[in-house]
Amino acid sequence: MTETQVETLVTPDMEEKKGVWGNERTSYPISESDIRKWAIAVYWGETPPKIFWDEEYAKTTKWGGIVAPEDFNPFAWAVPLVQPKPAGAVPGRVPQKGENILNGGQADTYGVRMRPGDVITTRTRLSHWEERTGRNGLTLYSYTETQWTNQKGEVVKTRISTGIRY
């Protein structure tokens, strides 16, 4: 193995954190006003579907009341945050092997709908990873799972995000 080759990009920290849920964050209770404002923003220029703002209409649907759009984010409002870690390239410094990082996308799976009064809890874990050799040499694909549940413990959304390092 030469100096520029790396046997693995998997760190001891990754091994330790694999499958372990991190700190939880909890949203404020969702209000009808929050849902209505989100729907207005998402459907700007059109009238949002009544299921998001008309209680009388919403009562006649299979949900029996107002629900939030699936992409509604109760964490978009002011919620105490963990201090973010600095990210990005350092000017004037050439990245070392494994320090080139790309966003490989995300996939969401939806569960129960969010409703007025719901309090959503989120948690994240490093689910798994795989290494492959590509045109840039050894490449690590890591998969992070984020789960949202409501106050009843029902899954609202699961997101798998892919990070790519080479």
CATH code of 166's domain: 3.10.129.10
105 and 133 within one domain: yes
User: How many residues are there in the chain?
Assistant: 166
Q: Distances from the Cα of 121 to the Cαs of 17, 30, 32, in angstroms?
A: 20, 12, 18
111 and 64 within one domain: no
Question: 102: part of which helix (H) or strand (E)?
Answer: strand 101-110
Give the model's pLDDT for residue 156.
Answer: 98
In a domain, 84, yes or no: no
In a domain, 93, yes or no: no
51 and 6 within one domain: no
The number of distinct structural domains making up the chain is 2
Q: What is the mean pLDDT of residues 39-57?
A: 96
In a domain, 45, yes or no: yes
pLDDT in tens, 84-121: 666 666 677 777 777 788 999 999 999 999 999 999 99
Distance, CA of 157 to chain centre = 9
125 and 108 within one domain: yes
Give the model's pLDDT for residue 56.
Answer: 97
Give the model's pLDDT for residue 100.
Answer: 83
Residue 42 neighbours by CB under 8 Å, 6+ apart: 48, 69, 71
The position carrying tokens 């996939």 is 107
In a domain, 91, yes or no: no
106 and 24 within one domain: yes
127 and 153 within one domain: yes
- Report whether 21 contacts 122 (CB < 8 A): no
Which one is predicted more confidently, 92 or 76?
A: 76
| 5: pLDDT strictly greater than 70 | no
In a domain, 86, yes or no: no
> Structure pTM?
0.81
In a domain, 125, yes or no: yes
In a domain, 69, yes or no: yes
- Report whether 55 contacts 66 (CB < 8 A): yes
68 and 44 within one domain: yes
In a domain, 95, yes or no: no
Q: Which domain holds residue 121?
A: 1-28+100-166
